[in-house]
Chain A
Amino acid sequence: MTATANRVPAQSPARQRGLLGFNMLTGIILGVVGWWVFYLLGGLIQGYTNHGFSQTGQNDVQIMLGYLGGVIGFLGGLGFLNYPIQRMMGYPPNIPDHEVEEPGLGKYFRLTTDHKVVSQQYFVGIAFFFFVGGLNAMLIRTELLSPTTHVFGAQQYLTLVGVHGSMMMGMMTSGVLGPFANWLVPLMIGSRRMAFPRMESLTFWLLMAAGVVLITTVFFGGFQTGWTGYEPLANQGTAGYDAYLGFFGLVSISMTLLGLNLAVTIATMRAPGMTWSRLPIFCWSVVATAALMVLAAPMLTATLLMGISDRTLYTAFFDPGLGGSAYLWQNLFWVFGHPEVYVLAIPGFGIVLEILPVFARKPLWGYKIAVSGMLGVAIFSFFVWQHHLFVSGMNADLRPFYMLSTEIISLPTGFTFLAFMATLWRGRIRLTVPMLFCLGWAFNFLFGGISGVFNSDTPSDVTTHGSFFVMAHFHYTIMGGLLFSVMAAMYYWGPKMFGYKLNERLGKIHFWVMFLAFNSTFGPLFAVGFLGMPRRVVTYATNLTGLNDWVSVSAYVLGLSLLLFLFNMVYSWMYKRIPAEDNPWHSRSIEFQLPTPVPAQDFDEIPVFSGDPYPYGEALAPAGAEPATAGAY
């Protein structure tokens, strides 16, 4: 299979694309205008119905409407509102399904339907908000250097914790699927685009709007609930909590649409020969994740709408004094929240299992087992949510069921680990940077998984609940699982995506510093938790100062390791600019058989697939088939 740049001459797009056309700058300007217009409108509404909204002593109506207007203005400035208006008049869409080859950087700052450009937008956008979330983590660790001397007040500290958690849990839901699935899925299945390209772009810009909304919480006093937004603390919160509701509302819509788009693309746009049993394992992980996003994220949207209506329309979903219940929030939140954990984790499985055979030079062991493992995790994740409520006063008879269902989920997780280990077994392992990150992922996720058993068992969970033990556990699974796999993906596919090599020596230094610092940061937190230090409390017992200082210093080193990665990207991609080879890893997957950078139209012709998806170590493919490489790897 070969593909070359499509020679279609550059067309002038139907919509204006100049500086003052539909782009990010216009979006920001109209976003600010939209904010003020709706904010003032909210003031009028509140004046009219003041008797109903005055109880909270703050104008949530104005603020929520401001956010709504801001987002509408932002999307309108990007050109998203042209499409629906045109469509209402019966005209065909004026934004093309396929982008043409276009030079310059302008395409990165506007609505685009090239899946590769959207994935790069995702990469930069999410990296920015990840940096903001990471910065919050550094500030949290700075506060915890001393149990008595405070850099921030208790409220500021809780806001830092909340923004950090929300930013990471919200934005990173698209941390893999946004940059990597959008880029890889069409290529891997032999399509030139996503099923709904305009929707693909919308998911990205909605996510960016969400990130900005969350940051604005600092102007309204922040929020003290952490990322879980628990009632009744939320109900007592300042207007900063409105930003939390707006943020997760936008994230949940973006998640739903992203999952739907990916699932439909894989289900309906596979090229001839790309049967389900030949689907790359990464695409299977996307299927499992997309199913969770499509089904679970709308529950969060509904829950947040209840929260918004409690604060603006005077309903009482979560107010026990008026017939509501704080536990309702907890239940609904975790019906979404636990699947969300796997939205973060499963794509990591897919990345690692996709990369592993390339550097073990062996076929993926237990392809079907790994697939059933990922799908099993996705299905079981809907039946475990009450383990988050073990100490909430839930009916004691429910505990055994949720304890068992949570423990059972470790079985399908184990399937993927089995595939991981068995693929390594007797392989010709090459310790490249992506492979190192894959091995690091396995180490971290194993610790995260084993510590999770303690949290799933009711007796041990009762003692560790709400402590730093839980925090260490989920950082091992989510950060250790997700971030290490993202790094593996960046070193593996990054040069293909961006066209330039990454420095390998810097990459290896980055891995070792990050791996050691990560474990040095989160490993001791298990002990800190066992010793009784609770989460989300600004002070702690003085005998824990030594451990906390160790953790803080390690966290700084962890932060530095990520700056090292940033340096590597800037150094390699902006300064050295050594063009990446088409297939530097001798991979057999189709994206590496395409030129670097991949042309706008992906393929000259729709490909036809045949054979095993991971034929490493096997005889050459049939004559005439590409890649025309000599010998089996």
Chain B
Amino acid sequence: MDAVSSGYQQEPHQWRLRSLSAGAKMWCGSTSGFMGAFLFAYFYLLALDPNHSWKIGKNVNPSGGLGVAIMAVFVLSGLLLWLGSRRPADEITTGVVAIVLAVVGIALQFVDYGVLGFGPYRGGYASVFYGWTAVFTLGALGGIYWMETSVAALWRARKNGFADTDEELLRVGLQSCALWWSYYVALGVLMYVVLYLV
């Protein structure tokens, strides 16, 4: 292969932007694989139902109302971040609200754990329920961290008038975060449909 010098000392600016965007999309792929394992476990154990112990005992059902509330809060968080990340004037406000909603979603999940009438040992369903919702909550905590750092970086850069800061990079960072968070919330909707409604 032949190669000559381009004359450019610095790497093209677009590389960083594309990296963030492509990285977020691939992270969506990884998240799918991760959540796919729990989806597989749900249907596998449901279909197999060894010893008829899919649900051991009575009242192995979570609260539908709380499930819908959790789902609604997360969906709102995802939507707000997605829309806000595309409107520079609102990105910080919507970002903060999205974070607060996500925290509320996690809090509601813990409330749900508190009022459940069954433990994780009450059959295949209970195991998947606890396992899947717990890792979803953990992932949501990671999402909150990502949202917080993206919004905080934009906030500080704006406060300094974007001096010595790559404004476009920060915006693309927030949009990448919004892409993943919206996708994650969509996976969450699938999870809640399977666990609460099916």
Q: How far is the CB of A291 from chain B (nearest CB, A)?
A: 9
The answer to whether A625 and B130 have CB atoms under 8 Å apart is no
The answer to whether A626 and B4 have CB atoms under 8 Å apart is yes
Q: Report B71-90 residues with CB < 8 Å from chain A CB.
A: none
The answer to whether A323 and B3 have CB atoms under 8 Å apart is no
Binds A, one of B41-49, B62-70, B184-192: B41-49
Q: Report A278-301 residues with CB < 8 Å from chain B CB.
A: 278, 280, 294-299, 301
Q: Which residue of B lies closest to A589 (CB)?
A: B1
The answer to whether B6 and A295 have CB atoms under 8 Å apart is no
Which B residues lie within 8 Å of A323 (CB)?
Answer: 45, 49-51, 53-56, 122-127
Given contacts A321-B51, A331-B40, contact A84 B145 (CB under 8 A): yes
Question: How many A residues have CB within 8 A of the partner chain?
Answer: 79
Binds B, one of A87-95, A211-219, A403-411: A87-95
Given contacts A301-B34, A322-B56, A622-B2, contact A605 B45 (CB under 8 A): no
Which B residues lie within 8 Å of A612 (CB)?
Answer: 1
Q: How far is the CB of A71 from chain B (nearest CB, A)?
A: 16
Q: Report B14-67 residues with CB < 8 Å from chain A CB.
A: 15, 18-19, 22-23, 26-27, 29-38, 40-41, 44-45, 48-51, 53-56
Q: How far is the CB of A371 from chain B (nearest CB, A)?
A: 16
Main secondary structure on B side of the interface with A: helix
The answer to whether B45 and A324 have CB atoms under 8 Å apart is yes
Interface centre among A2, A593, A603 (most CB of B within 10 A): A603
Given contacts A89-B152, A298-B31, contact A606 B8 (CB under 8 A): yes
Q: Report A226-274 residues with CB < 8 Å from chain B CB.
A: 256, 260, 263-265, 267-269, 271-273
Which B residues lie within 8 Å of A2 (CB)?
Answer: 5
Which B residues lie within 8 Å of A298 (CB)?
Answer: 30-31, 33-34, 37
Instruction: Compute how far the CA of A328 lies from the CA of B33 in the bound complex, rounded to whole angstroms.
Output: 16
Instruction: Compute how far the CA of A621 lies from the CA of B1 in the bound complex, rounded to whole angstroms.
Output: 8
Which of under 10, 10 to 19, 20 to 34, or 35 or more describes the interface residues of B?
35 or more
Q: Which residue of B lies closest to A272 (CB)?
A: B6
Query: Is B117 part of the binding interface, using a Cβ–Cβ cutoff of 8 Å?
Result: no
Proximity string of chain A (160-204) to chain B, C-beta cutoff 8 Å, 1 when within and 0 when not: 000000000000000000000000000000111001100000000
> Given known contacts A260-B30, A302-B33, A606-B8, what 5 new A-B pairs fall within 8 Å (CB)?
A264-B19, A271-B3, A606-B11, A606-B12, A611-B2
Q: Residues of A at under 8 Å CB distance from B? A: 1-2, 52, 84, 87-92, 190-192, 195-196, 256, 260, 263-265, 267-269, 271-273, 278, 280, 294-299, 301-303, 305-306, 309-310, 313-317, 320-325, 327-328, 331-332, 335, 588-590, 593, 603-615, 621-622, 624-626
Q: Residues of B at under 8 Å CB distance from A? A: 1-12, 15, 18-19, 22-23, 26-27, 29-38, 40-41, 44-45, 48-51, 53-56, 119-128, 130-131, 134-135, 145, 148-149, 152-157, 165
Q: List 22 A-B contacts (CB under 8 A).
A: A88-B145, A92-B153, A92-B165, A195-B23, A260-B27, A294-B30, A295-B33, A296-B33, A299-B37, A302-B37, A316-B124, A317-B128, A323-B126, A323-B127, A327-B48, A335-B40, A590-B3, A606-B9, A606-B12, A611-B1, A621-B2, A625-B2
